[in-house]
Amino acid sequence: MKKLLNKLRPPSNWLFYVNSLIAFFVGIFIYALYVSNAVSYLSDEPETCVNCHVMRSEYATWQHSSHREVAVCNDCHVPHNNVFNKYYFKAKDGLRHATMFTFRMEPQVIKMQEAGQEVVQKNCQGCHQNVNRDVGLLNVSLDDKRHGDSKLCWDCHREVPHGRVKGLNSVPNSIVPLPGSPVSNFIQNLNTKIK
């Protein structure tokens, strides 16, 4: 092990430069965590979802839905089978969202990926299992939908909880970000310029 560490160690005349480069990247990483308010994503607060300006309509339509009284974003969009899977899914999905936002690849109309569809379907079934007992949707999966054997919950219940109208302009006068929300200043300024 010591031989391996000695092989990986840079020559002494390069040590300062290598340490400086490592410190630079660690500093950039910490600054990115600070600017993005990354700690806020560990919570279940729905206001965190509007850290990204493209989630305005989803947040505003959820605020006016019946689900607002009983569920937050993570209740529907994150798996609940165990804490590790929950945070793994949040991290994976969050990194995808952050990458898309950073490189300005966000779509005008938000659509769930297959992994998200599977999670939402299971969460619908979990919360509504007493209601669905007679409907027969308790065992419907994304594979059933792909093969045309059945429909997912939102195929019939399109209006719940976000409504049919999607996109950045569907709720142009909504108060987002909310006062006191964890939205970064540069996003608030960007949103002001967009209006």
Residue 98 vs residue 26, higher pLDDT: 26
Q: What is the mean pLDDT of residues 81-96?
A: 91
Domains of the chain and CATH, by start: 36-194 (1.10.3820.10)
Span 12-21, pLDDT tens digits: 888 899 999 9
pLDDT tens by residue, 63-85:
888 888 899 999 999 999 999 99
Average pLDDT in the chain:
79
Determine what percent of the chain is predicted with pLDDT higher than 70.
Answer: 79
For residue 71, the model assigns a pLDDT of 92
pTM: 0.69
Peptide bond preceding 179 in cis form (omega within 30 of 0)? no
CB 161 within 8 A of CB 65: yes
Question: Scanning the structure block, which residue is given the tokens 């798996």?
Answer: 79
